[in-house]
Amino acid sequence: MSVDMKYFEEMEAKIPHGKVRTRFAPSPTGYMHVGNLRTALYTWLIARSQGGTFILRIEDTDQGRLVDGAVDVIYRTMAECGLDHDEGPDVGGPVAPYIQSERRDTYGKYAKLLVEKGHAYYCFCEKTESEEDSGNFNRTADPCRDLTREEVEAKLAQGLPYVIRQRIPAGTTTFHDAIFGDITVDNNTLDDQVLLKRDGLPTYNFANVIDDHLMGITHVVRGSEYLSSAPKYNLLYEAFGWDIPTYVHCSPVMRDAQNKMSKRHGDPSYEDLKAEGYLTEAILNYVALLGWSPKGEQSEQEIFTLPELVKAFDMTGISKSPAIFDRAKLDHFNAVYLRNMTPEAFAKAAEPYIRQSVKNPAYDVASIASVLQARCEKLTDIPEKVDFFDALPAYGVEFFTNKKSKTNPEVCTAMLEAVIPVLEALPAWTVDAIHDALIDLAQKLEVKNATLMWPVRIAAAGKLVTPGGAVEICHILGKEETVRRLRQGLSLLRS
C-alpha cells in the first residue's frame, strides 16, 4: 500500500501563492437564501478589499440533493449582484476543475495518503449514514480502527466494501477563528468522521479541506454552525502538514430571536425578494449589514454601493451575534434606492408593474412613474397604487369628508361645481396650467388650497390614498377623462 508521492508533488506545484484567495462554494440545491448570499458577499469583499482572487466552486458531492437548473440560479444571482469571480467552472483557472464531482479521483488518492500517514483507516463495518449523522458514535467500539495492515489488505483483496475514516488522536485541538478567537475542544468529543464514502465520493467535510488546500484558499468564510467541524478540519490540515487557512465563521441570519431563517419555513431566497419588488442593490446593501458594521468615520453610514463596500470592508467588523432579518428595515433600504434612481431608470424598472394595472396605452408610463417614485417602497406596491387610471373604482360619498382639509359633501359639491367649468375652459393641459388654475380658483372662493384639492383628487381617483396629488393625477388622466370623472363625482354628491 505504499504511495507514489509524485502525484501529490505535482498537485502542490500547481497551487497559487502570494495573495489572498477566497472561495464561495455553494451546493446546487436551487435556493440562494439570504445567509448564502451574505457568505458570497463577505467572501467576495475579503478578496476584493485585499486585491485578492475570488473563486466560485460548485460543491455537488451530495448527489441526492441536487436540483436541475440550480447551477444557473447561482450564476445568475452572482452576476446580478455584481459578485464577479476570477476562477470557476465557466471561466477556468490554474487549479481546475472547479466542480467537486469532476475532482472525484483526487479525493480517493488523498484519503489513501492519509491512511498511509496513520491519520485515517479503512472501516468495513456496516454502519448506516443516519448513524453517522446522528452523532451516536463510540470510537473504541469500532473494531476496524485497530486492524493490522495485513488484515486490511486481506479484506480489500476480498473486495469488501469500505469507507475511510479520520483517525482522531487523543488530547485536545485548538483552532483560531477571525471572529471568535481561539477555541479549544477535547478530542474525545470528536467522532472518527467518514472521509470517503462507499461509492468513492468524499464527504462534504473532507472534500472541502482537500479543495481549499489545492486551490490555495487563504480565507474560509462559512456559517458558525460549522464551528463544531473546525477542529476536525484543523486535524486534517495538520495530518497532511498543510498551512491552515484563516477561518471566518459568521453567525446565522435569524427570522426572529429564536428561529434561523430557512427554506422550510418559507423564508425568502434572493430570487423571492426580487420577485417581491426589491432591488438587487438594496438587497445586497441590506445583507452586507446583517452581521457586519463599518468602522471609523463610516460607522454611521448605512447606504453603500458595492465599490464603497469594498473600500469600507474589514473582517473585524463582523459580529459574533446573530443578525435578525428585519423586513421593515429592508423596505426602508429599498425605498431609499428607489428614490435615488434617475427618473428614467425608475420609469424603466416600474414600467412592467405599472402596465399590470394600467393597460390603456394613452397613459404615459414616465408621467405615472414620476408621481410614484417618492411614494413607493417596493415595485410590487405599484399595480394597486395606480389601478384607478384604467378604471375609476366604486367609492362612497364619505370619501369626500376630511377634517384636515375642512371638507364634507356640501363643501365638495360647491368645489366641484366651481372647478369643472374652469378646467373645461383651460386652453393648455399642462401641470403648470392645471396647478395655477386650481390655486387661483381657491383664492377666488376664499378657501384653503386643500379644501379644493381634496374633492378634485377624490373624484379623479376614487381613492383616499394616491401617488401624487390632484394636479398630477388630472394631468395624467387628460382633460376629457378628468372632467368626466369630476362630473361623476358631482352626481354622486347630489344623489
Residue partners of 37: CB distance under 8 A and separation at least 6: 77, 81, 270, 283, 284, 287
Distance CA 384, CA 380 (A): 9
Choose the catalytic residue: 263, 295, 320, 406: 263
263 a catalytic residue: yes
Nearest-10 crossing angle of helices 280-288, 327-340? 130
Positions marked active-site: 263
